[in-house]
Chains A and B, each alone.
Chain A
Amino acid sequence: MCKAVHRRILRFGYFRLSPSFVAGVSALMVLLFLSGASSAADEREGLKEEPNKLNQENTELRKQLESQMRTIEDLTQRLESLEQKSPVTPSQSEEASAMESGKNSSPFTILNHHFQWFGDVDFRDGGKVSNGNNSPNTFYLGQLGLMIHSRLTENVSVMSEIVFQYKDDESASTTIERLQLQYQVNDLVNFRLGRTHTPFGYWNETFHHGTWYQTTVLRPELFRFHDGGSVLPIHSVGLEMYGFQPLNVLDIHYNLGVANGRGKKYTDTQDSQDLNDNKAVYGVFSLAPVAVPGLRFGANVYEDTIPPDPSTAARNGNINELITGVHLIYIRDNLEILSEAMWIRHDDTVSSQRFKTWGMYLQAGYQIGALKPYYRFDRLDAAEGDPFYGPQVVNVTRNALGLRWDFINKAALKFEFHYIDQNNLNSPYAFYTQAAFTF
């Protein structure tokens, strides 16, 4: 019995296992194997289905994305539509520029015609002599100017400037200050025909009768308008070529012109009839170096033969006029520095006398938000005894300290204190205020 039992016990290492136990364990292992095989088969099946599921999910996501894109496009269109239709509120209106209210136009644009009015109302205390007497302090109207620029074709346009004003004797006047037909060939070659502001460098070509553009109340002594007396021929009637050419190291600006030139008096432009066959010729060249953005400097020349004036004793013959000048301008960011100097030489062909007048100004301003403090030194040194200018043109040295306040986009208040060195003034001090606006 013991032997039989012993045989039934199998040796397995140093363990001794009964055959029944071995059979049970084997059965269990087979079951486990079968179970494992079944599980792997299930997993393989699941992996086979995975791409299909991913494809389905991908398709659904694409549909959702397309739907969202359609919604975004719809919302964008509706937003743009609302932006176009939304009325401009008063505050926006103030902020909006002349060009912002429509395509390719300003509020003052009708078809291709751009209209803009400019005006100023002023107060002055001191600084003026009328008929030999110092003028009392006064409010006064400046000029009301209408500028119209109309594009006729792609390259042809007309620019006009009409000014309404009261003169010192209270008479009203309307004058065509500028009327010019322009033809643009390209950037380098352009033509201007008509009554223009004679280019002498910077100021006269840049600032016109709208005082809103210029920083200061008054124009420099050199460039004062004819009614107030001007030593330079501010306006010219003739033909001018002008252009702009950028080069590698600098930009070139130029103006070349031929015009009727001066009349018998220094205030005459000769709009309807030149009194001699000699035409005035002039040229301006300005350079703007690339290395110093905002800087521009150059020189100008103007030559004319002034006709005699039989009504004045010392004006029996022609006067040969030669004007030369230089300018240096720096305008960058908030800083503005303007400076020009001109030398005017008159050769009287009868007396063989030569008269030399010169003038200059230096102006600097710095914009701080809506405020712009500025200073200008102004000097005019008139030739003594020049028969063309006569006693009206006198020596002036003027220091102006001012503040400009652009309280809204289209209007500014300017306050200036002047210290003036001029022989016929009672007091060297003067105070100017100007409200300058455009509409």
Chain B
Amino acid sequence: MRRSIAILFCFLAIAGNAPVHGMDIAIVVNKDNPVDGLTMREVEAIFELRQQFWKGGERIYVILQQAHRAEKNVMLKKVYRKTDEGLNKYLLQRMFTGEISDFPQIESSNEKVKQEVRRRPNAIGFIDAATVDDSVKVLRIDRSLPGSEKYQLKSGDPSS
């Protein structure tokens, strides 16, 4: 009985003091990709399809998530700085300016992004950091990994 009460008190103490964090977005690549980290600027350039090649010369295969998913919303806010409609217009414009020859691939879940990243050596995608497993490589962004204080790709609000 006393042990249960002690556990309950510990739980309440931890829960009361723990900071409430939103979602951290992990930028993931294939495990064979030699890249370990990117700057936030490079993340923007890659996901906006301005940078289309890895430094080794291979074409970057960008995987996005469907509209209205929480992961996509964080990326729209932190990386694209656009609404989903704004992003679509931007990509259409780049397509018909001749700057890109394909649209990014769209996936419906974190699991599917991981599957595609596993399957494609040159792929890059984003997933909820809570769903990361050892099937993909998580990149450091500005030298920080998801979960750290300085990590930039996080939602301030869990619902965002």
Q: What are 12 A-B contacts defined by CB distance under 8 Å?
A: A98-B103, A100-B106, A103-B105, A104-B103, A104-B105, A114-B103, A116-B95, A147-B96, A155-B59, A182-B98, A246-B41, A438-B92
Chain A residues with CB under 8 A of B87:
97
Contact between chains at B97 and A114 (CB < 8 Å): no
A235 shortest CB reach to chain B, Å: 14
B112 shortest CB reach to chain A, Å: 7
Q: A355 in the interface, Cβ–Cβ < 8 Å?
A: no
Contact between chains at A210 and B96 (CB < 8 Å): yes
Contact between chains at A213 and B81 (CB < 8 Å): no
Contact between chains at A206 and B95 (CB < 8 Å): no
Chain B residues with CB under 8 A of A192:
98
B44 shortest CB reach to chain A, Å: 8
Within 8 A of A (CB), among B42-75: 42, 45, 50-53, 57, 59, 64, 66-68
Q: A8 in the interface, Cβ–Cβ < 8 Å?
A: no
Q: Which of A149, A154, A246, A290 contacts B95 (CB 8 A)?
A: A149
Chain A residues with CB under 8 A of B95:
114, 116, 149
Q: B93 in the interface, Cβ–Cβ < 8 Å?
A: yes
Contact between chains at A409 and B42 (CB < 8 Å): no
Q: Which of B51, B52, B67, B86 contacts A96 (CB 8 A)?
A: B67
Within 8 A of A (CB), among B105-129: 105-109, 111-112
Q: Which of B41, B50, B91 contacts A99 (CB 8 A)?
A: B91
Which A residue's beta carbon lies closest to that of B68? A95
- Classify the secondary structure of A's interface with B: mixed
Q: Which of B88, B93, B111 contacts A409 (CB 8 A)?
A: B88
A104/B104 contact (C-beta < 8 A), A98-B88, A154-B59 known: yes
A104/B102 contact (C-beta < 8 A), A96-B67, A116-B92, A161-B96 known: yes
Q: Which of A76, A147, A244 contacts B50 (CB 8 A)?
A: A244
Contact between chains at B106 and A99 (CB < 8 Å): yes
Contact between chains at B52 and A187 (CB < 8 Å): yes
Q: Which of B51, B64, B88, B102 contacts A244 (CB 8 A)?
A: B51
Q: Which of B42, B45, B51, B92 contacts A98 (CB 8 A)?
A: B92
| Number of chain A residues close to chain B: CB under 8 A | 50
Contact between chains at A186 and B109 (CB < 8 Å): no
B73 shortest CB reach to chain A, Å: 13
Q: A170 in the interface, Cβ–Cβ < 8 Å?
A: no
A180/B97 contact (C-beta < 8 A), A83-B108, A95-B67 known: no
> What is the bound-complex CA distance between A154 and B96, given in angstroms?
17
Q: Which of B97, B106, B111 contacts A76 (CB 8 A)?
A: B111
Chain A residues with CB under 8 A of B104:
99, 104
Contact between chains at B105 and A180 (CB < 8 Å): no
Chain A residues with CB under 8 A of B57:
186
Within 8 A of B (CB), among A184-213: 184, 186-187, 192, 205-206, 208, 210, 213
Q: A62 in the interface, Cβ–Cβ < 8 Å?
A: no
A155 shortest CB reach to chain B, Å: 8
Q: Which of A102, A182, A406, A438 contacts B101 (CB 8 A)?
A: A182
Q: Which of B91, B92, B101, B106 contacts A151 (CB 8 A)?
A: B101
Which A residue's beta carbon lies closest to that of B105? A104
Chain A residues with CB under 8 A of B101:
112, 149-151, 157, 182, 184
Chain B residues with CB under 8 A of A95:
67-68, 84-85
> What is the bound-complex CA distance between A154 and B42, given in angstroms?
22
Interface 1/0 per residue, A172-184 and B, CB below 8 Å: 0000001010101
Chain B residues with CB under 8 A of A74:
none
| Number of chain B residues close to chain A: CB under 8 A | 38
Chain B residues with CB under 8 A of A438:
92
- Classify the secondary structure of B's interface with A: mixed
Chain A residues with CB under 8 A of B96:
116, 147, 149, 159, 161, 208, 210
Which A residue's beta carbon lies closest to that of B91? A99
Interface 1/0 per residue, A134-167 and B, CB below 8 Å: 0000000000000101110011010101000000
Chain A residues with CB under 8 A of B50:
187, 244, 251
Q: A333 in the interface, Cβ–Cβ < 8 Å?
A: yes
Chain B residues with CB under 8 A of A151:
101-102
Contact between chains at A100 and B66 (CB < 8 Å): yes
Within 8 A of B (CB), among A319-337: 332-333
Chain A residues with CB under 8 A of B84:
95, 97
> What is the bound-complex CA distance between A180 and B96, given in angstroms?
11
> What is the bound-complex CA distance between A367 and B86, given in angstroms?
11
Known: A83-B109, A99-B91, A116-B95. 11 other contacts (CB 8 A): A84-B108, A95-B84, A97-B87, A97-B88, A100-B88, A151-B101, A184-B101, A187-B52, A206-B97, A244-B50, A332-B81
Q: A230 in the interface, Cβ–Cβ < 8 Å?
A: no
Which B residue's beta carbon lies closest to that of A104? B105
> What is the bound-complex CA distance between A208 and B92, given in angstroms?
12
Contact between chains at A205 and B42 (CB < 8 Å): no
> What is the bound-complex CA distance between A187 and B81, given in angstroms?
23
Contact between chains at A246 and B45 (CB < 8 Å): yes
A246/B42 contact (C-beta < 8 A), A96-B67, A97-B84, A99-B103 known: yes
Which A residue's beta carbon lies closest to that of B87? A97
> What is the bound-complex CA distance between A333 and B83, given in angstroms?
9
A100 shortest CB reach to chain B, Å: 6
Interface 1/0 per residue, A335-359 and B, CB below 8 Å: 0000000000000000000000000
Contact between chains at B103 and A208 (CB < 8 Å): no
Chain A residues with CB under 8 A of B68:
95
